[in-house]
Structure 1
Amino acid sequence: MTLTQLSYIVAVDKHRHFATAAQKIYITQPTLSMQIQKLEDELGVLIFDRSKSPVVPTAMGEEIIEQAKLILSGAKHIEDMVAVQGETLRGTFRVGIIPTIAPYLVPLFLKPFIEKYPEVELIFEEALTAEVLKGLNEDYFDVGIIATPTEQHMYERDLYLEPFLAYVSSNHELAKKDKICIDDLYKEDLWLLNEGHCFRDQTMKLCKKNNEKRNKAPIIFESGNLETLKRLVEQDFGVTLMPYLAMNEQDNSCTNGIVKEFEDPIPSRKIRLVYSREFLKQNLIDAFATVITDSIPKELESQEEAMVIE
């Protein structure tokens, strides 16, 4: 029995699919299946019922997996203790980050961090807020980057406030305004992210709950990707809201969409670094947060007139 084998059964339990689990942990499915089969043969029990789809653990398998999680957590604890010794930062640092932040923030700080801390292996995984928090509680992630407060026992560190921007089609009535206000937003007129995205919830909080239907194309479309919503606007369909960094380098001269700022108070979201254990990897967490705040655009450093939407 090895830690690697235990990590494999935990991965299959998480994804309930051998091929998906293998893909997520960057090994081939035959290797994964062979190692789990080897562990089952050694223990003399079936850990997974392969006749069902999705695959599920057997009754004994559930108990083994729970013990495997405890063993892996203890092993990780030992690795973390060693990694934080000395002046040089090293070791693996796994970051859970929500999809409306990841593609816009990570490119800003990744290179400076790698250059400053070359012995740290950064691993990023995009996940919805609930999945990030679950991963933190299970010691899967070392830190998370999210845009809402947590109700769980988590340590939080504010990174920056990010304003909301409106992205409107060139023929939309809002395109004529210098700046827009919250009262200009109608939820029937907005392209939204899928349910589960906190940015969708924050957008809905800005919109009027009761408003008249607007004249628009009879289309209902919700996306898991902000870039898809941009493309819809550029096809002369409606309005969407975007976080500031998603539009930071937008070139309106090449598109049919127009970026509009909000009047004061500017609706914004608070980007937070969250983690579940204060004492381990604290120096890595401090360094990670510092590089992020040093890398963001200067205009995000102070927003006295911001209205934070949680």
Structure 2
Amino acid sequence: MKRLPSIKQLQYLLALHEYQHFGRAADACYIGQSTLSAAIANLEETMAVQLLERDHKSFIFTPLGEDIVRQARYIIEQCEELTDFAKSQGKPMAGPFRLGCIPTIAPFVLSEVMALCRERYPDLQLLLREDTSDNSLHALGEGRLDMVLLALPYETGTFHAEVLAQDGFKLVLHQDWLDRGFSNDINQWPDESIFLLEREHCLTNHAVKACELEDSRKVNPFFATSLHTLIQMVNNKLGVTFMPQMAINSGVLDGTELIAQQPGAGNAYRDIGVAWRPTSSKARSYRIMADLITEVLLNKCQSA
């Protein structure tokens, strides 16, 4: 009988590739460094290939080693899905479901998604992770997430991606600024008067494009870290910002003196969608979850 790599060996290989350090990878696997080193050497012997180029202080993965890591990641994903499938006894929307979501959507949508899941699918264990689009898609590719809820367009590679709803942008400003006669044509506003999120948040790029902001001098070089920080600065009359409709509908402007109005670009919006691995065996669950999220979004994104 042909000798085959063990699941444990493949898990050790993936850990080493992730941490690029024997000591840290061994700690992550709760084993000793010598045990990890021996396991990788045994794996190379089993497959009769060289996975690593080593010297006395460092190593790099060989090109073939990189290819084998990709195959190993797929195998581990399939094993994890097999285990989840067994736990759910083959039923959709049962067992663990790991949903990633970006920070400019998560606070306004996920609580209702969880409530509907508890009501309709009591056998589902919905696990949530809030992170940036890049990090979430990376986790999706490594099998650490089943689905990502994000704003589109965004480069999703080979993942299946689809738009579920449109979330309009509003121009948010203090009542005093409105009283001073500023129009909703943002390109006529003073330089550095528009506050936005840090560039790692895709909301910034989507807002700039959707609202047709043509003059970059209008944007303040100080970027906020969250929507709530933006609200505080605008409420202190420092400038204006763009806010997604779902955030406004969730009450983020309550208790402030801020006004939300249509930007000069007219029907400015971002697409809200989901992404998942098309090779996954959870396709039925993904479809059901996408429909459930759409139900929540259509309510949350409805313009007042």
For residue 172 of structure 2, the aligned residue among 167, 173, 183 is 167
Distance in 1 (CA, whole Å) between partners of 2:32 and 2:75 is 18
For residue 210 of structure 1, the aligned residue among 198, 215, 224 is 215
Distance in 2 (CA, whole Å) between partners of 1:211 and 1:42 is 54
- Say which SS state the counterpart of residue 152 (structure 2) adopts: coil
Residue of structure 2 in register with 1:135 after alignment? 139
Distance 1:9 1:81, change over 3 A: same
What is the alpha-carbon root mean square deviation over aligned residues? 4.1
Letter paired with 2:107:
P
Residue of structure 2 in register with 1:100 after alignment? 104
Residue of structure 1 in register with 2:161 after alignment? 156
Letter paired with 1:38:
T
Q: Deviations over 1:221-266 (max 9, x none)?
A: 21332222122222321111111122224375622x4031206833
Q: CA deviation at 1:267?
A: 0.9
- Say which SS state the counterpart of residue 37 (structure 2) adopts: helix
Pair 1:292 & 2:293 matched: yes
8 Å CA contact retained: 2:245, 2:302 = no
Distance 1:271 1:15, change over 3 A: farther
Give the TM-score taking structure 2 as reference length.
Answer: 0.73
Pair 1:39 & 2:43 matched: no
Distance in 2 (CA, whole Å) between partners of 1:35 and 1:120 is 36
Q: CA deviation at 1:10?
A: 3.4
Distance in 2 (CA, whole Å) between partners of 1:187 and 1:37 is 60
Distance in 2 (CA, whole Å) between partners of 1:195 and 1:207 is 17
Give the TM-score taking structure 1 as reference length.
Answer: 0.71
Distance 1:237 1:57, change over 3 A: farther
Percent of aligned pairs with the same amino acid: 25
- Say which SS state the counterpart of residue 271 (structure 2) adopts: strand
Distance 1:11 1:107, change over 3 A: farther
Unaligned runs of 5+ in 1: 23-28, 304-310
8 Å CA contact retained: 2:101, 2:130 = yes
For residue 123 of structure 1, the aligned residue among 127, 130, 133 is 127
Distance in 1 (CA, whole Å) between partners of 2:247 and 2:260 is 13
Q: Deviations over 1:43-88 (max 9, x none)?
A: 45898x9x99xxx864479657555424312313434654676556
Q: Deviations over 1:261-296 (max 9, x none)?
A: 206833111101222316621221122123223334
For residue 69 of structure 1, the aligned residue among 55, 68, 73 is 73
- Say which SS state the counterpart of residue 103 (structure 1) adopts: helix
Radius of gyration: which is bigger?
A: 2
Distance in 2 (CA, whole Å) between partners of 1:286 and 1:233 is 39
8 Å CA contact retained: 1:8, 1:36 = no
